[in-house]
């Protein structure tokens, strides 16, 4: 079928490739046109306005940075007027409230909507090994599961719209908290001149181990935060979304608020566009 993708950045590009590999026609749009060129080279139809992508497609995959980006593309007048008869699949990380609000606007315009945020980064997107969490009706899930399998082998129906978005925020909160804790341990052991290989050997055998520790270990040791799979600025956005959702639930979030300070320091010190493992650098620099 004809599938549009709006947002062809770090994750959108390999996800677009997966759509084409499944023999669907891909119509691509990105606000920065250069980011869509790799997909054009592979045979995608790259268009200059969102409305053109939407009008040419049975479904629209959104892989944008935040809800504001969705508003500036999909929900502006011309694009929104094109969604009638189309299904919009929102696959980025936004809040449950934002997702439900966008759903309402799409439905009022005559289109259909559900959410399917993903867990994983560029390597998993390239291989079709993302974890796809779906907030939809059972009918929508049944209809679109084959397309969602382009991105991950086993899409999981979480519940109605908003539920998958909430689960994704809970997972990204863990990304932030685990990374900060791991970076603190590594910095501590470096200062104590304790062999990090021995630390990792023991850690890997313990119940404390998480695979992401090994994924970030080399970056932290080498102080190499370039070519990110997930930039620090996006992690900062997701922490704020989680805290905003947690506040009315009367949860104690002081721990995450401390991590948020570290991530904000990462941004202000010039690592907003780098990998979020740059948290290590902020912890290393200490106070002051």
Q: Measured between alpha carbons, how far is 83 from 108 in angstroms, rounded to an integer?
A: 10
Two tokens at 280? 């290590």
Instruction: Tell me: do 144 and 209 sit in the same domain.
Output: no
Residues 239 and 267 in one domain: yes
Which of 107, 126, 161 marks a domain boundary? 161
Enclosing H/E stretch for 25: strand 25-29
The pLDDT value recorded for residue 64 is 95
- Residues 6 or more apart whose CB falls under 8 angstroms from that of 243 comprise 253, 256, 257, 260
**CATH number for the domain that contains residue 237:** 1.10.1040.10
Mean pLDDT rounded to a whole number for the chain: 95
The enclosing domain of 25 has a CATH number of 3.40.50.720
In 62-120, which residue ranges form alpha helices assigned H by DSSP? 67-73, 77-80, 96-108
Q: Domain end: 130, 161, 192, which one?
A: 161
Instruction: Summarize the confidence of residues 63-82 as an average pLDDT.
Output: 91
How far apart, in whole angstroms, are the C-alpha atoms of residue 81 and residue 104?
14
Q: What is the pTM of this model?
A: 0.94
Higher pLDDT, 74 or 135: 135
Please check whether residues 129 and 262 belong to one and the same domain. Answer: no
Residues 196 and 212 in one domain: yes
User: Where does the pLDDT of residue 287 fall: very low under 50, low under 70, confident under 90, or very high at 90 and above?
Assistant: low
Q: Are residues 9 and 52 in the same domain?
A: yes
**CA torsion through residues 218, 230, 264, 252, sign:** negative
pLDDT value for 77 = 84
Q: Tell me the Ramachandran region of residue 245: left when phi exceeds 0, alpha when psi lies from -120 to 50, beta otherwise.
A: alpha
pLDDT score, position 97: 96
153 and 12 in one domain?
yes
Residues 189 and 208 in one domain: yes
Structure tokens at 160: 């109605």
> How many folded domains does the chain comprise?
2
Domain boundary pick from 108, 135, 161: 161
Whether 135 and 55 map to the same domain: the answer is yes
Range of the domain at 218: 165-285
Element (H, E) at 196: helix 196-204
Q: What percent of the chain has pLDDT over 90?
A: 93
Is 60 exceeded by the pLDDT of residue 285? yes
pLDDT in tens, 218-267: 999 999 999 999 999 999 999 999 999 999 999 999 999 999 999 999 99
Across 121-148, average pLDDT:
97
Mean pLDDT of 16-35: 95
pLDDT tens digits for 148-195?
Answer: 999 999 999 999 999 999 999 999 999 999 999 999 999 999 999 999
Residue 235: partners with Cβ closer than 8 Å, 6 or more residues away = 172, 175, 176, 263, 276
End-to-end CA distance of the chain: 56
Whether 30 and 150 map to the same domain: the answer is yes
Residue 122, both tokens: 């560029």
Question: What pLDDT is stored for residue 117 in this prediction?
Answer: 98
Exposure on the CB side of residue 100, measured as CA atoms within 13 A: 10
- Give the separation between CA 131 and CA 46, rounded to whole angstroms: 27
Regarding whether 175 and 225 lie in a shared domain, the answer is yes
Q: Are residues 67 and 110 in the same domain?
A: yes
Same domain for 226 and 91 = no
């Amino acid at each position: 079928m004809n599938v549009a993708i709006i947002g062809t950045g770090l994750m959108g590009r390999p996800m677009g490739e997966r759509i084409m590999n499944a023999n669907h026609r891909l119509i691509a749009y990105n606000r920065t046109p250069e980011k869509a060129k790799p997909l054009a080279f592979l045979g995608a139809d790259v268009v200059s306005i969102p409305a053109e992508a939407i009008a040419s497609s049975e479904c629209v995959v959104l892989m944008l940075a935040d809800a504001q980006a969705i508003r500036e593309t999909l929900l502006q007048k011309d694009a929104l007027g094109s969604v009638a008869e189309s299904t919009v699949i929102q696959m980025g990380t936004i809040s449950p409230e934002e997702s439900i609000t966008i759903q309402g606007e799409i439905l009022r315009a005559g289109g259909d909507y559900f959410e399917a945020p993903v867990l994983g980064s560029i390597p998993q997107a390239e291989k079709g090994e993302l974890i796809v969490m779906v907030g939809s009706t059972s009918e929508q899930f049944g209809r679109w599961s084959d397309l969602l399998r382009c991105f991950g082998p086993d899409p999981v129906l979480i519940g109605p719209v908003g539920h998958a978005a909430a689960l994704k925020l809970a997972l990204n909160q863990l990304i932030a908290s685990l990374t900060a804790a791991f970076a603190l341990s590594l910095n501590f052991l470096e200062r104590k001149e304790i062999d990090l290989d021995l630390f990792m050997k023991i850690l890997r055998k313990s119940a404390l181990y998480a695979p992401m520790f090994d994924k970030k270990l080399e970056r932290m040791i080498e102080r190499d935060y370039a070519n990110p799979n997930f930039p620090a600025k996006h992690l900062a956005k997701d922490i704020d979304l989680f805290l905003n959702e947690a506040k009315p639930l009367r949860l104690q979030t002081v721990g995450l608020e401390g991590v948020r300070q570290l991530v904000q320091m990462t941004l202000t010190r010039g690592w907003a566009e780098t990998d979020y493992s740059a948290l290590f650098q902020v912890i290393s620099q200490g106070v002051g």
